[in-house]
Structure 1
Amino acid sequence: MVTTRNKIGIWMDHSIAHLMEYSNHPFEIKTIESDFTHKEKINSLMKGEAHLHNKEQQLQTKYYKKLMNVVKKYKEVILFGPTDAKEELFNVIVSDNRFEKINIQVKQTDKMTSKEKHDFVKEFFANK
């Protein structure tokens, strides 16, 4: 059996991303978390709404850059999850020509258990 190292599924919202590399072996879920935590939100809000917005934008950009560093290592990517974070990341990626050879798709899903995420990625790439 050959292990496929060129496909990854990323379930994400604005606070955390679960990365699942598609392979013939049981795959592990790695996580990347945004630094924009509830505590950070409260601290920023106390300094004013403009400060909150700037801090959120700054930390979201950092979070998306971490995810883009993962995405660039793959040929096929499925971004999925319950919020619009996946579309925001997708829009940042497609504006960067370093990603033009990567097949990236976006799918809306609900909140999912680890098994449901695993099954979703498996089924998505098995049908390709």
Structure 2
Amino acid sequence: MKSTKKLGIWMDHSMAHLMEFSETPFEIETIESKFTHEEKEKKLAKGESFMHHKEQQMHSDYFKKIAQKIINYDKVLLFGPTNAKTELFNKLSEDNRFVKIKIHVKETDKMNAYQRQSFINQHFSSPLYK
């Protein structure tokens, strides 16, 4: 029987911490959005409409990078303090490549690396999500 590949992603609009669930879960990658506060200020100087367009474009690129990683897993947990996880979930739901991947979304506060690993362990160890 094929083993299920599981991935936990703590994310907000600026950063995503990707952690594979295994015997010893560990962070495999951090993906950062290019839309920083400094970038926002620069684009806002060119006009609010321009800034919003650039923000959407950069968030789209950020979500695409995360999606490229998710495609290799069977079960994914998206969690974090902002609505970025829900926005990503909605984008993935519109893409047929992600239909067979079970994706769960959970609201959490900011977390350090230990708290993120513990949260993933609890989630994927639960009988509901095995």
Q: Under TM normalisation by the shorter chain, which class is it?
A: over 0.9
What TM-score does the superposition give when structure 1 sets the normalisation length? 0.94
| Whole-angstrom distance in 2 between the partners of 1:64 and 1:100 | 17
User: Secondary structure in 2 aligned to 1:64?
Assistant: helix
| Segments ≥4 residues shifted beyond 4 Å | none
- RMSD across aligned positions (CA): 1.1
Q: Any idea what the Cα deviations from partners look like across 1:63-114, whole Å, max 9, x if unmatched?
A: 0000000110000000000000000000000000110000000000011111
C-alpha change, 1:6 and 1:15, in structure 2 (3 Å) is same
Within 5 Å, which residues of 2 pair with 1:1-128? 6-127=5-126, 128=130
Contact in 2 for aligned 1:77/1:104 (Cα 8 Å): yes
Amino acid of the structure 2 residue aligned with 1:102: I
User: Secondary structure in 2 aligned to 1:35?
Assistant: coil
Instruction: Give, in angstroms, the shift of residue 125 of structure 1.
Output: 0.6
Amino acid of the structure 1 residue aligned with 2:7: I
Contact in 1 for aligned 2:17/2:27 (Cα 8 Å): no
| Whole-angstrom distance in 2 between the partners of 1:71 and 1:5 | 13
5+ residue gaps, structure 2: none
| Whole-angstrom distance in 2 between the partners of 1:114 and 1:28 | 8
In the comparison of the two structures, how many residue pairs are matched? 125
Instruction: Give, in angstroms, the shift of residue 28 of structure 1.
Output: 2.8
Amino acid of the structure 2 residue aligned with 1:95: E
Amino acid of the structure 2 residue aligned with 1:62: D
| Whole-angstrom distance in 1 between the partners of 2:73 and 2:33 | 21
| Whole-angstrom distance in 1 between the partners of 2:124 and 2:25 | 14
What TM-score does the superposition give when structure 2 sets the normalisation length? 0.92
Amino acid of the structure 1 residue aligned with 2:107: Q
Instruction: Give, in angstroms, the shift of residue 30 of structure 1.
Output: 1.8
Report % sequence identity: 54
Amino acid of the structure 1 residue aligned with 2:24: H
Amino acid of the structure 1 residue aligned with 2:39: E
